[in-house]
Amino acid sequence: MIQKIRVQTIVGPDLKGNGILNDIRRLGIKNITRVSAIKVYRLEGVSEKEAKILAEKLLSESINQRYTMNSTSEESESTSEVKPVTIEIGYKSGVMNPEVASITKAASDLGIKLLACDSSFEYAFYGNLKKEEVEKIIEKLKLYNPLIEHIVKDEPRTLILKGQPGKTETISIRSLNDQELLDLSKDRLFLNLEEMRKIQEYFVKEKRDPTDLEIETLAQTWSEHSGHKTFKAELLVDGKKKEPLIVRIKKEALKYNKNIVSAFEDNSGVMDFYDGFGICGKVETHNAPSAIEPYGGAMTGSGGVFRDIAATGKGAKNIASTDIFCFAPIYLPASQLPAGCLPPEYLLKRVVSGVRDYGNRMGIPTNNGSVHFHERFRARPTVIVGAYGIVPKKYAIKDKPEINDLIICAGGRTGRDGIHGATFSSGEMTADTYTIHSSAVQIGNAIEEKRMFDALLEARDQDLIRLVQDCGGGGFSSAIGEIGETLGVTVDIKNAPLKYQGLAPWEIFLSESQERMIVVLDPKNLKAFEGICRKYNVESTVLGKFDGSKKLKVYFGKEIVGNLDMKFLHYGLPRRVLQAKQPAHLRGARVTSEVAGGSLRGGPQNEKEWIEVLEKVLSHGNVCSKEPIVRLYDHSVQGTNDLQPYSGKNLDGPNDSPVLRPVLSKQYGMVISHGLNPVLNNIDPYRGSIWAATEALSNFVAVGGDYKNASLINNYIWPFPDQESLWSLDRSVDAVVDFMKIFKIPVISGKDSLSSTYRGADGSVIKIPPTLCISVLGKIEDTRKTVTADLKKVGSTIVLVGEMDKNLGGSVYHQVNNLEIGSVPRIDLKLLPKTFDAIYKGIRNGQILSCHDVSEGGVISTIFEMCVGGNCGVNIHLGGVTSSHLRGDRMGSSEVSGLLFNETAGCFIVEVKDEKVAKQLFKNIPYITLGKTQKAPVIDVKNFFSAEVPNLKKVWQKPMKEMFS
């Protein structure tokens, strides 16, 4: 029998209930007066007496809660109000509820053995309503995700999951014709006809048909997600043959190997640090899962990228996490949302919650990120998660496995969750994506991952490990397939611990259940390794060993369920030849406005217009303050942060990049930054990509980083690579290669996600703006030689450093004025290294008091943010400007707006003591003295306008404050 305990908080606000009520109000529904939330526990296999002990000692606290046992909701509600409508929401059977393990453990500590248990929430809705109405409201609110949760309608009779192992099936591929091959592939394998034929050929030669496990293993290994087919393809760009994208990137990168420890070989790229350490970085996207289950998607995205760090070499320690999101504008009218896509507001909130709940629990500081908006991200959101780590260099490279080495699975158990994740994410988004691919959703349990990492690091430090491989996309099939490539392996997946019975062997092999790692050990280290795992409550199991067969041999007990040649698995995939073609709309330049800002009737005409447009820019999603999001993330854990996301008088001035001291007792540090601009990338993939890379490196330099000690990570988030999208991808890769050439620094890691196209049933197609995200990691000798962006002193001189291009195409200024004209800013790459050097030197010798790079929102937004931090103002006088195309003495409103809203990356606003210092620091590069800082928190631009910083600040903070409070 199941004992049901309901726990209600009776002292203090009902936060969950009130939160839901707020959301209901926002929907404009007024007839619900109150919502209360009640936690429900179901305990199986214990007596009522035992359940009572658990209720009192474990499940409720008498100070502020009360509990009831085995009562219906009606009995326990003793208020005089009208009976509420109650609805209980729980996890679907088979979906892991992370709380269950803790309840079972604590009960056992109290001497009570549970057979099974579960927890859920019951919501009571007060007001004059019918149940059906409430159900409709819940659906509108998206209070639960039907992929993983359900409304509990009947009392469950048992919570114990039973099942018989599924059977392995043979697929008669040899007899299929082309159409039948395609039918087999559709919605399951995501392979094209040529690839399907290759598989058919292989099995014809083998004189047998494949098992479901084999065909699924091939499909996942050959998926775009794992196989990177586009990046490896031969290209014909407008008829001209070009080397594969990945070849071009690698070739250029490996020329600059001064700091490289390992690049493109492992789960993350590693660069040299100090004292025998390396630092590593990996940036991933988790777009497809986040599109259908944003909370779980973001969680498992974080979990996955942390595992990439933990599975670098013999294991690195995670020290930072970054999060970068792109959504459709928050207030996108529902009518513009394609069928099967979730609204951006919901996506943003849920993604932020997922990142928060995973990163915080892992104890990994999340200290860098950004949010971008563009209406075409309604096709599919972009969720970019990055992780950074530190590893002693002696453990930074994996050992080569030897014959008889053991293959161990450590960490979480295997369930049905996440099956087809790798293949699914390689597919496009359709109206059916939401329903058909629900099994691709993975659920995260950060604590499982945290204790596994603790155990692995201890095992690494005892030198027990040959290598660690992450079970990411493709699960065992991918991890084991990869590590076994040279020698060959035999595994028995019947040994894999399961969350519940009933999985077919292919499901076990392909499952993307989270928090699992494959570890390779010399057999003599097994006992010691298992001891460490026990210490940390980590389950570890021997799955098999390296056997020298050059085959992937998979058993399920005695039955052989897979036997593939490693060579075919890894090299059988035919290399594609792909055509790229310049899209017509990108042929020839866009209409360029002759005078920057000139098309705007000559710019704002009076102070009121100036302030109006400034407020529009500052409240734009890409510019507004993201502080309410950042405060939800733990950015202080590990105690390493020597340059925090926000600083200044009121701790609300944003900074460019975090500076970390990963070894607490040492002064050296690590700087992390990133840059992207989907809007510019969309207009001009080459210049937009240069802008993104420049922005990323400028953020790095703005805090005091030396670009010569930086490494890059490139992520391409693109629509499906049809000929036109492939053309822009090719241009973007060219930009990255050129960027490396200029700065002589390498890309050391990267990833592509080429499926962000939406296809509607009505034939409508939406492509996201192609997005290059460049992340930067680098080392710095002394974290004390860094600066923040907040203005430090009254009366210091404010200088704009760097060459400003006159183009404003794609700027936020243009966006808020609904202008679609003009070119993307062209960045003077020859000059840029000199600018970076000057800034670096000025910061190192303490002459630059504060620094902030120019980015979205332009020069004036940069200055404004510095004023927020300094809680002060600036007095800008453009009379002295004598740059090539800007003559201060003759500047009218259009020229001034063209300067103040200019977004040329690679330019900086710096605070120095006086003009003399500026002259000395920037003698070889263009700079403009803009004015002086003043105590009054006012931005004065002489002859044009005067704006109160506190008023602007309100406008700038409002959008995210509204969203997250």
Binding site for another protein (CB under 8 A): 9, 11-13, 15-16, 18-19, 57-59, 61-64, 98-99, 102-103, 105-106, 109-111, 356, 360-363, 445-447, 450-451, 454, 534-537, 630-639, 641-642, 644, 646-649, 651, 661, 664-665, 783-784, 787-788, 790, 792, 964-965
Structure tokens at 784: 């004390």
Q: How would you list the strands of the sheet with 234-237, edge to edge?
A: 240-242, 234-237, 577-580
Q: Which residues pair with 323 in a beta bridge?
A: 369, 385
CB-nearer residue toward another protein: 357 or 375 = 357
CB-nearer residue toward another protein: 641 or 753 = 641
Side chain identity at residue 642, one-letter code: D
Contact of 343 with 337, CB cutoff 8 Å: yes
Q: Supply the minimum distance, in Å, between the C-beta of residue 13 and another protein.
A: 7
Structure tokens at 183: 């039918």
CB-nearer residue toward another protein: 9 or 855 = 9
Distance of CA 471 to the CA centre of its chain: 18
Q: Supply the minimum distance, in Å, between the C-beta of residue 645 and another protein.
A: 9
Classify burial at 79, counting beta carbons within 10 Å of its beta carbon; exposed 0-12, middle 13-18, buried 19 or more.
exposed
Task: List the catalytic residues.
Answer: 225, 286
Q: Supply the minimum distance, in Å, between the C-beta of residue 120 and another protein.
A: 13
Report the distance separating Cα 705 and Cα 674, nearest Å: 13
CB-nearer residue toward another protein: 24 or 446 = 446
Q: Supply the minimum distance, in Å, between the C-beta of residue 499 and another protein.
A: 17
CB-nearer residue toward another protein: 64 or 845 = 64
**Cβ-based neighbour number of residue 74 at 10 Å:** 11
Contact of 59 with 6, CB cutoff 8 Å: no
Q: Supply the minimum distance, in Å, between the C-beta of residue 503 and another protein.
A: 25
CB-nearer residue toward another protein: 18 or 549 = 18
Side chain identity at residue 190, one-letter code: F
Q: Supply the minimum distance, in Å, between the C-beta of residue 853 and another protein.
A: 17
Q: Supply the minimum distance, in Å, between the C-beta of residue 21 and another protein.
A: 12
**Cβ-based neighbour number of residue 763 at 10 Å:** 6
Compute the residue count for the chain.
965
Tell whether the torsion through CA atoms of 28, 31, 36 and 38 is positive or negative. negative
User: 3-state DSSP call for residue 824?
Assistant: coil
Closest CA to 418 of 299, 576, 522: 299
Q: Supply the minimum distance, in Å, between the C-beta of residue 295 and another protein.
A: 14
Helices (DSSP H) in 426-545: which residue ranges?
433-436, 446-461, 475-483, 505-510, 526-535
CB-nearer residue toward another protein: 367 or 775 = 367
Helix H or strand E encompassing 866: helix 858-870
Residue 397: partners with Cβ closer than 8 Å, 6 or more residues away: 261, 262, 266, 313
Q: Supply the minimum distance, in Å, between the C-beta of residue 519 and another protein.
A: 19
CB-nearer residue toward another protein: 11 or 334 = 11
Angle between helices 344-362 and 949-964 (to 10 degrees): 90
Residue 209: partners with Cβ closer than 8 Å, 6 or more residues away: 170, 171, 172, 173, 174, 203
CB-nearer residue toward another protein: 54 or 735 = 54
Side chain identity at residue 581, one-letter code: K
Helix H or strand E encompassing 34: strand 32-44
